Chain A
Amino acid sequence: MTSAGIVISELTVGYGGPPVLDQVGLRVRPGGTTAVLGPSGSGKTTLLRALAGFVRPTGGRIEVDGKVLTSGQTMIAPERRGIGYVRQDGALFPHLDVTGNVLFGLPRAERRRATQVAPLLELVGLSPDLARRRPDQLSGGQQQRVALARALAREPAVVLLDEPFSSLDTALRAATREATLTALAERGATTILVTHDQAEALSFADQVAVMFDGKFVQIGSPADVYGSPATPQVGSFLGDTMLLPGQGAGPIVDCELGTLTLAEPATGDVLVMIRPEQLVLEEPSTALTARVVSVAYHGPDAIVRLSLSNSTSRLVARVPGHRVPQPDDLVGLAVPHAVLAFPSHRRPADGTEGAPTGPDWRNGRVGTASAGSDS
């Protein structure tokens, strides 16, 4: 079977112990952009290195535009893959100036002419004046863009980006990301971006693949994986969530927030997943009343922490910045839209799903709202 784009099937990589990548499959459409999202240590970088040809998989198959790169004994050398690879640190050659770096992968004659440098620099949003600078005379963002220009110079069909923006500060990061997206779109390259930043993944890609422990747990559009995560873990990893115990009864569920509509029917013990922006604050006239514990104001919006009067559960709501309550205010709560419910044995504490154990998982995103702990 041949097909355009990247096709990875049953890819396994191990170094002796438990596999770092375990029977991974992924398809990226030609010209598409896929973000591989996952906590540190989940195998993301190994996936890229296997694609680029730096890691010899123990099993599986990699095809790009119908050409088999890795399969059984076949292992195409990195330089013959036509895959651009941009690392987290840029990895510019310190002994070459910007021009030397950008043109590095081109044939000698083209390197001599050096005509492509200016367009390539412009493509990644850099001034051609930088052409004679040495890497140590560039800022981090500039180095990163030069690295991208270098990878794009050979017009690769596939570009792999390994957390290329993670070491840049916020402003630089947004600008570099923008420049990168534009450049990649212009070249129509098929792109895989590895990141552990969910906002980056959601905004950058047309497909998000979530990896935990060397396996993809969900692959889908950004809206899909955010709005309909396959598991509570995926949901928590992609954004703040509250998980409340509830009783499913077909299309509805009963929980501390009352009876809510389900996006998909469920029965029995479930965990109800609610994102902070799904919780709407109203006048304290409704059946469900909560007290404001604290408010973190962000400008466009605010994070409001709430406690229910008859429960120890803590809730979090994201509200528009122009309607922010004060601490100790009493407010009414509503969940106007459908919510997700997961069979409750899938709670992270059971560990049956092999929940990721990275620091992100433990400390941040789940903890913000792990409600319903009192029963």
Chain B
Amino acid sequence: MPAFSNVPVRYDEPLADAPAIAGRRTARTPRLVVIAAVVVAAVLVAPLIVVFGQAMSAGTAEASRLLLRPRTVELLRNTLLLVAITVPVTVLLGCGAAWLVERTSIPYVGIWRGLLLMPLAIPAFVSSYAWTSVLPSVQGLGGAVFITALAYYPFVFLPVAALLRALDQDQLDSARSLGSSGWDTVRRVVLPQLRPAIAGGALLVALHLLAEFGVLQMMRYPTFTTSILQQFAVGFSNAAGSLLAAVLAVLCLGFLAVEILFRGKSRIARLGPGTRRRPVAHRLGAWTVPAILGLAVLVALAVMVPAAIVARWLARAVATQAVDVGPLLAATGSSVGLAVLAGLVTTVAALPGAWLLHRYPSRAAVVLERVTYISSALPGVVIGLALVTLAVQWARPVYQTAALAVAAYSILFLPRAMVSWRSGLAAAPTELIEASRSLGVSGSATFARVVLPLVLPSALTGFVLTFLATVTELTATLLLAPTGTETLATAFWSASDELDYVASAPYAAGMIALSVPLTVLLRRQILDQR
């Protein structure tokens, strides 16, 4: 079963005579799950409280001086413009590619699926460096959109492809038989079903854009986040940076609300007996070659060019014998260790909130889920410093241990797991849970025997997405990882800071090499069928 819901029959009306939502709410909310969700939300909100506290310390005079000036408007405009252009572009690229791969007669589907997910394996700052080194004119808003759209479209492609693959042909046929044209069917039957998937993917893209620093700095495109980092670099107090970060958090709240509106209330799950029919592939005919070319160009721009340039550095590094295998292996080891832990912890931590929202939807559940997104929209250094403050004050024993670093990764990357869970849980509709309970199986056993097997592909997706992000995370790692820990990302940073791209190449290549096999694992998400 694909995690991004199965055989999607949409039904907004109540199941039978009871209102569906109300009916589900009457089941008693399990206290342990609520406690777990509240604890997770509290951990995620704690750094925000520190940030807001520091922002308040600036005082109203300083705050108005900082916020009520033309530069703020410029940063706001830049940030919003970037999001407003990049998000639709990623949606178009992601949906277009997904449609070509999953619903048309395009050849070599398996290969395309893997290649199209591959940008997830290439850190955006590596690809932006690669691009500027061959094409210096890649910069400004255009360059920023170009790099970020190519880097982030897989966040949309992945869930949409899974959903398109699982789409029920009967539904499309009945839409056609009800007199709607091909495009009309897409608009009225397919798109509404894709909405939650698109919304979740687009939200991830938007959050990344809010927090993105390296790429935009290289593109010379100032946004709130680049400005926050400069305030931290130049200012003596971090009040100004925190103040801007608070604005960013508010901006993020806006995006979260928009996502809720766009997602709609629809619940997607299969209902009714009868075998679902596999979708019929749209015959491309003469369009086959242009379609292949289109995908090839996308993959070339997003993956091949950066990979080729890293390969070139690496070749030079090997030729000059600049590759030091010992440190490389040690850094790979720490990266894998931290990333596996972060992946597991984050995936598990996201579950209570996602589960509550799925099974016991209520305003409180929505709030618990939503607050987990805010921290990820802030730059890593802001969250990292807030965690330093918190840990030194309240959790001294874990300060500068792997545990705190893993907590920081979870705080920063929880949305990746949350979005995966949310689409995955749609594959385990309430009906199946009730069926299990009425067969004498308790709630927790039902979770283990029914829910978990059904949502495993999405759990895996959440794990992999968090793993990939952790491997390339830099700022929080520098601040919070145990002293002496060298990861691939920190080693790459040191080497490139030393102006030594040849020496940094093995670490960049290491990050990519580590990520590629995991990215391939993501294909399961699309492939897995009931």
State yes or no: do A and B touch (Cβ within 8 Å): yes
Q: Is the CB of B438 within 8 A of A85?
A: yes
B275 at the interface (CB under 8 A from A): yes
B472 at the interface (CB under 8 A from A): no
Cα-based distance from A141 to B6 in the complex (angstroms): 21
Q: Is the CB of A45 within 8 A of B440?
A: no
Cα-based distance from A16 to B25 in the complex (angstroms): 12
Q: Is the CB of B530 within 8 A of A104?
A: no
A82 to chain B, nearest CB (A): 7
Q: Is the CB of A16 within 8 A of B434?
A: no
Q: Is the CB of A93 within 8 A of B432?
A: yes
B477 to chain A, nearest CB (A): 38
Cα-based distance from A307 to B446 in the complex (angstroms): 62
B289 at the interface (CB under 8 A from A): no
Q: Is the CB of A93 within 8 A of B450?
A: yes
Tell me whether A89 and B454 are in contact in the complex, defined as CB-CB below 8 angstroms, given that A104-B436, A105-B439 are known contacts: no
A175 to chain B, nearest CB (A): 14
With a CB–CB cut-off of 8 A, which chain B residues contact A261? none
**Per-position binary interface string of chain A over residues 197-222, scored 1 when its CB falls under 8 Å from any chain B CB and 0 otherwise:** 00000000000000000000000000
With a CB–CB cut-off of 8 A, which chain B residues contact A297? none
With a CB–CB cut-off of 8 A, which chain B residues contact A16? 22
Q: Is the CB of A154 within 8 A of B530?
A: no
**Per-position binary interface string of chain B over residues 437-465, scored 1 when its CB falls under 8 Å from any chain A CB and 0 otherwise:** 11111110010011001100000000000
Q: Is the CB of B17 within 8 A of A52?
A: no
With a CB–CB cut-off of 8 A, which chain A residues contact B450? 93, 95
B178 at the interface (CB under 8 A from A): no
Q: Is the CB of B17 within 8 A of A55?
A: no
With a CB–CB cut-off of 8 A, which chain B residues contact A95? 1, 450, 453-454, 530
With a CB–CB cut-off of 8 A, which chain B residues contact A89? 271-273, 431
A49 at the interface (CB under 8 A from B): yes
With a CB–CB cut-off of 8 A, which chain A residues contact B443? 77, 79
Q: Is the CB of B441 within 8 A of A55?
A: no
Give A55's nearest chain B residue, CB to CB: B26
**Per-position binary interface string of chain B over residues 4-20, scored 1 when its CB falls under 8 Å from any chain A CB and 0 otherwise:** 00100000000111110
Give B271's nearest chain A residue, CB to CB: A89
A169 to chain B, nearest CB (A): 10
A341 at the interface (CB under 8 A from B): no
Q: Is the CB of A136 within 8 A of B22?
A: no
With a CB–CB cut-off of 8 A, which chain A residues contact B431? 87, 89, 91
With a CB–CB cut-off of 8 A, which chain B residues contact A52? 434, 438
Q: Is the CB of B18 within 8 A of A167?
A: no
A39 to chain B, nearest CB (A): 9
B23 at the interface (CB under 8 A from A): yes
Cα-based distance from A55 to B438 in the complex (angstroms): 13
Is the contact region of chain A dominated by helix, strand, or loop, or is it mixed?
loop
Q: Is the CB of B17 within 8 A of A41?
A: yes
B31 at the interface (CB under 8 A from A): no
B28 at the interface (CB under 8 A from A): yes
A32 at the interface (CB under 8 A from B): no
Give B528's nearest chain A residue, CB to CB: A95
A40 to chain B, nearest CB (A): 7
Task: Give the residues from 229 to 245 in chain B that come closer than 8 angstroms, CB to CB, to chain A.
Answer: none
A135 to chain B, nearest CB (A): 7
A327 at the interface (CB under 8 A from B): no
With a CB–CB cut-off of 8 A, which chain B residues contact A143? 273-274
With a CB–CB cut-off of 8 A, which chain A residues contact B439? 79, 84, 104-105, 150-151, 153-154
B276 at the interface (CB under 8 A from A): yes
A46 at the interface (CB under 8 A from B): yes
Q: Is the CB of B435 within 8 A of A87?
A: yes
Q: Is the CB of B26 within 8 A of A167?
A: no
Cα-based distance from A144 to B275 in the complex (angstroms): 12
Cα-based distance from A78 to B441 in the complex (angstroms): 9
With a CB–CB cut-off of 8 A, which chain B residues contact A45? 15-18
Tell me whether A154 and B440 are in contact in the complex, defined as CB-CB below 8 angstroms, given that A134-B530, A140-B273 are known contacts: yes
Cα-based distance from A105 to B442 in the complex (angstroms): 10
B261 at the interface (CB under 8 A from A): no
Cα-based distance from A136 to B166 in the complex (angstroms): 12
With a CB–CB cut-off of 8 A, which chain B residues contact A136? 275-276, 530
A94 at the interface (CB under 8 A from B): yes
Cα-based distance from A54 to B434 in the complex (angstroms): 7
Tell me whether A77 and B17 are in contact in the complex, defined as CB-CB below 8 angstroms, given that A91-B431, A138-B275 are known contacts: no
A56 at the interface (CB under 8 A from B): yes
Q: Which of A53, A55, A80, A144 contacts B18 (CB 8 A)?
A: A55
B135 at the interface (CB under 8 A from A): no
Tell me whether A79 and B530 are in contact in the complex, defined as CB-CB below 8 angstroms, given that A43-B17, A139-B275 are known contacts: no
With a CB–CB cut-off of 8 A, which chain A residues contact B440? 79-80, 82, 105, 154
Task: Give the residues from 149 to 168 in chain A that come closer than 8 angstroms, CB to CB, to chain B.
Answer: 150-151, 153-154, 162-163, 167-168
**Which residues of B approach A to under 8 Å, CB–CB?**
1, 6, 15-19, 22-23, 26-28, 271-276, 431-432, 434-443, 446, 449-450, 453-454, 530
**Which residues of A approach B to under 8 Å, CB–CB?**
15-16, 20, 40-46, 49, 52-56, 75, 77-85, 87-91, 93-95, 104-105, 134-141, 143-144, 147, 150-151, 153-154, 162-163, 167-168
Q: Could you jot down 15 A-B contacts, CB within 8 Å?
A: A15-B18, A15-B19, A49-B18, A49-B23, A55-B23, A81-B438, A87-B434, A89-B273, A89-B431, A95-B454, A104-B449, A136-B530, A137-B275, A143-B273, A144-B273
Given A20-B17, A79-B438, A90-B273, list of 9 further CB < 8 A pairs?
Answer: A15-B18, A15-B23, A44-B17, A84-B439, A88-B16, A95-B453, A139-B274, A147-B435, A150-B439
List the 7 closest pairs (A to B, CB-CB), nearest first. A105-B439, A45-B16, A140-B273, A94-B530, A85-B438, A78-B437, A15-B22
